[in-house]
Amino acid sequence: MMKEAVAREMNSQINRELFSAYLYLSMAAWFEGKGLSGFSNWMRVQAQEERDHAMGFFYHMLERGAAVSLEAIAKPDVEWASPLAAFEAVQTHERFISASIDHLLETAQSERDHATANYIQWYVAEQVEEEANAEALIQQLHLVDKSGGGGIFMMDRELAARVYVQAAIVAGK
């Protein structure tokens, strides 16, 4: 059985992951409106990943006999100054998510919920990848800005190739 403090934090994490999906869908719409369908595709795939992350926590709670409590999801921003500003917002948000997952892990450890602490390790590793992806795209966007902006269309074409792959954490559910 999951301890109450762990369940409370995990319910909050579900909400943060669902907000992440909303945020990335909002960014996808913004990019689409700017004629950058490849960037939009990248964000839609990212939104699907975040939904998977939420569902992973959801299923874990149910498997452990904990009550899932879904709360209202905050409205995300709808505009950014530039593609670079959007990805800087992604990076900031992913760092926030990493910190919240670390807090969830610390809660599970302090409550001696070893099963949940073990489960959360997948998310810890996933966040390393999420932050690295954001950083790599920010670096590319800085280079594009320095080259006069023509490279944005090459990046758009590259990002259009990203495909959704269901997260391992929910694939077996």
pLDDT for 72 equals 98
Residue 43's contacts (CB-CB under 8 Å, 6 or more residues apart) are 24, 25, 27, 28, 31
**Residues 107-166 pLDDT 10s:** 999 999 999 999 999 999 999 999 999 999 999 999 998 777 678 999 999 999 999 999
Task: List, for residues 60-97, the tens digit of each pLDDT value.
Answer: 999 999 999 999 999 999 999 999 999 999 999 999 99
Q: Check which CATH number belongs to the domain holding 9 and give it.
A: 1.20.1260.10
Predicted confidence at residue 172, as pLDDT, reads 67
Q: What is the pLDDT of residues 5-46, one digit of tens each?
A: 999 999 999 999 999 999 999 999 999 999 999 999 999 999
pTM (2 d.p.): 0.95
Can you give the residue range of the structural domain that contains 61? 4-171
- Crossing angle between the packed helical segments 37-63 and 4-33, to the nearest 10 degrees: 170
Domain tally, the chain: 1
Confidence label for 168 from pLDDT (cuts 50, 70 and 90): confident
DSSP character string of 21-88? HHHHHHHHHHHHHTT-HHHHHHHHHHHHHHHHHHHHHHHHHHHTTPPP---PPPPPP---SSHHHHHH
167 or 164: whose pLDDT is higher? 164
**What local confidence, expressed as pLDDT, does residue 149 receive?**
63
How many other C-beta atoms lie within 10 A of the C-beta of residue 135?
A: 14
Spatial contact of 43 and 76, defined as CB atoms under 8 Å apart: no
Query: Count H helices, E strands: the chain?
Result: 6, 0
Indicate whether 58 pLDDT > 70: yes
